[in-house]
Amino acid sequence: MDVQTTFLDRLFESGLLIDTGVDGLYGRSGQFEDVISAFERLIDKFGGADGAEAMRFPPGMNRAFFEKSGYMKSFPQLAGTVHSFCGSELDHIGLLQCMEVGDDWTKDQQATDIVLTPAACYPLYPTVARRGKLPMSGGLFDLQSYCFRHEPSQDPARQQLFRMREYICMGTEQHVTDFRQRWMDRGVEMMKAVGLDVAIDVANDPFFGRAGKMLANNQRDQNLKFELLIPITSVAKPTACMSFNYHQDAFGTKWGLYLEDGSVAHTACVGFGLERIALALFHHHGLEVKQWPAKVRQALWG
Ligand code: ATP
Ligand code: ZN
Ligand code: MG
pLDDT digits (tens, 9 = 90+) for 199-256: 999 988 889 999 899 899 999 999 999 999 999 988 899 999 999 999 999 999 999 9
What pLDDT is recorded for position 238? 96
Residue 74: CB within 6 Å of ligand 1? no
Helix axes 3-14, 274-285, angle to 10 degrees: 90
The continuous run of DSSP H or E covering 130 comes out as helix 124-130
Calculate the alpha carbon distances from 233 to 117, 158, 171, 243, 244 in Å: 26, 10, 37, 18, 22
What pLDDT is recorded for position 6? 86
Q: 206 alpha carbon to ligand 3 midpoint, in Å?
A: 6
What pLDDT is recorded for position 5? 59
Q: Sort 294 into a burial class: Cβ within 10 Å, 0-12 / 13-18 / 19+.
A: exposed
Q: 35 alpha carbon to ligand 3 midpoint, in Å?
A: 23
Q: 240 alpha carbon to ligand 1 midpoint, in Å?
A: 6
Q: 241 alpha carbon to ligand 1 midpoint, in Å?
A: 7
Beta carbons within 8 Å of 302's beta carbon, 6+ residues apart: none
Q: Ligand 1 test: best mutation among 204, 227, 279, most atoms within 8 Å of CB?
A: 227
Closest by Cα among 198, 200, 204, 201 to 217: 204
Name all domains of the chain by residue range, CATH numbers in brackets. Answer: 7-79+118-301 (3.30.930.10), 84-115 (no CATH)
State the average pLDDT for the chain: 96
Residue 271: CB within 6 Å of ligand 1? yes
| 277 CA: nearest ligand 1 atom | 20
Collect the ranges in the chain with pLDDT lower than 50: 4
What pLDDT is recorded for position 51? 96
What pLDDT is recorded for position 2? 54
Residue 151: CB within 6 Å of ligand 1? yes
How far, in Å, CA of 134 to CA of 69, rounded? 20
* Residue of minimum CA distance from atom 14 in ligand 1: 271
27-31 long-range contacts, CB within 8 A, separation 24+: 28/275, 31/289
What pLDDT is recorded for position 270? 98
